[in-house]
Homo-oligomer: A and B are copies of this chain.
Amino acid sequence: MEVAKMFISVEEARDRLFKVLRESIVLGIETIHVMNSLGRVVSEYIKAPVSRPRNSLSAVDGYAVRSLDTVGASYYTPVELIVRGALRPGDDPDKLCVEHGSAIRVHTGAPLPCGADAVVMDEDVELRGETILVYRPAAPGLNVIYRGEDISEGSIITEPGAVVQPAHIAALASLGVSTLRVYRKIRVSIIAIGDELIEPGSPLEPGKEYNSSTYIVYAQLFKDGIFHVSYTGIVPDNAESIISAIKSEVARGTDIIITLGGTGVSEADKIAELLKKASLTVFRGVKMRPGRMTSASIIYGRPVIHLSGFPVAAWAGYELILRPAIAKWIGIKGFERPVVYAYLSRRVPNTSGYTSIIRVALQVRNGEYYAEPYMLRGSGVISSLLRTNGYIIVPENVEGFEEGERVPVHLYT
């Protein structure tokens, strides 16, 4: 196949697309409330404006003391201290001071009063009217939670590219931070190409096929949480209609266009025709399976990625090319799928020169994962995603993996 010579590696495709995204899209920043920030990509360093806890606190119900006063305390030689007041959570730590020979009653979470450096627990103390008997020496810091022990003022809570997790939200809220700056959502338009396509829900006419690639790509984009996705519907199988659909999406201010279908190498290849009218072909075909007809271009100044009309090939094109290119462009950290390491239950051969994306079903036995490759071929085989938990990548320069080999499995999660 002559076309195969033009195919580039997965890495090269990602890199070219990354550069095109970087050069053609200005991704604005917006300020949002911390409560609505889950899953968004932070655009700034946020440092802790204060320490947490803000003051040193008592970790127990007991008495704040000067540790030196308790040296030598024992069951037989208790130390007697005068109780000079009490502090509760939220009280001002300078309201009361512990002087030599005295103690201050503190509740769990109360500030450590000035002068004190330790707290003796109720269990180690006997209260006698206005004094306590301390039966055990208290080392400096005993039962004290120090100021900034959890988060110290100035420490970094989030950095540019971080995807907001529940823990970030809790940390920011606890420090009084109510808003943060995040990248605006990326506007993506999906255009489905094909005279033969009809939408699910319509009765099937002869010669027609249900559109499914749009649905899987839409779901993937939606799941990633950083996109505004709009779907234009099905466009007829000719370059003029496709160009016109792209033009109207560009006019609406979209950032990235995804076309689905029309990518065959046979006579039905409308993308080849389309690319002749594009201002730039970024790449045409990638040495990967499935998804080898994944292509990219610039049309009306916008990056257009051409994914296969076959659902699993479309899935692979998003997963291995577009998604990593976007992650690199924005600098998203931790956007990779979670990985488990698994023993292959069968040999996985590779097509030389191609990166293969092999879907696997995982099983756990005795705290080890085993991966069963799903071997039905064909880029339209939806069951290969339906019956599996993740995928392994066989790089283009690797002949395959042996049975029993330990390989990283990228979870769909």
Contact = CB atoms under 8 A, between A and B. Distances in A.
Interface stretch (A12-20, A126-134, A249-257, A381-389): A381-389
A364 B336 CA distance: 14
Contact of A381 (B91, B150, B212, B340): B150
Contacts of A341: 367-369
A266 B61 contact: yes
Contacts of A408: 367
Nearest to A39: B223
Interface string A192-214: 00001001111010111111111
A169 B378 contact: no
Interface stretch (A70-78, A173-181, A270-278, A395-403): A173-181
A50 to B, nearest CB: 8
A49 to B, nearest CB: 10
A220 interface: yes
The count of identical subunits is 2
A300 interface: no
A200 B176 contact: yes
A262 B250 CA distance: 54
A201 B176 contact: yes
Interface stretch (A96-104, A160-168, A282-290, A325-333): A160-168
A142 interface: no
Contacts of A215: 34-35, 169-170, 172-173
A50 B208 CA distance: 14
Contacts of A321: none
A280 interface: no
A220 B266 CA distance: 49
Nearest to A164: B219
Contact of A378 (B35, B145, B268): B145
Interface in A14-53: 34-35, 38-39, 50, 52-53
A240 interface: no
Contacts of A63: none
Nearest to A145: B378
A125 interface: no
Contact of A222 (B38, B196, B378): B38
Nearest to A157: B386
Contact of A385 (B166, B266, B378): B166
Contacts of A378: 59, 145, 150
Contacts of A54: 204
Nearest to A211: B173
B223 A166 contact: yes
B219 A150 contact: no
8 contacts: A107-B268, A169-B215, A169-B219, A176-B202, A178-B200, A338-B338, A341-B367, A341-B369
Enumerate the 8 nearest inter-chain pairs by beta-carbon distance, A residue then B residue, closest first. Answer: A178-B201, A90-B207, A174-B212, A167-B385, A170-B216, A166-B219, A173-B215, A178-B200
Interface of A: 34-35, 38-39, 50, 52-54, 59, 61, 89-92, 107-108, 145, 149-151, 157, 165-179, 196, 199-202, 204, 206-216, 218-220, 222-223, 231, 264, 266-268, 311, 315, 338-341, 364, 367-369, 376-378, 380-383, 385-386, 406, 408, 411-413
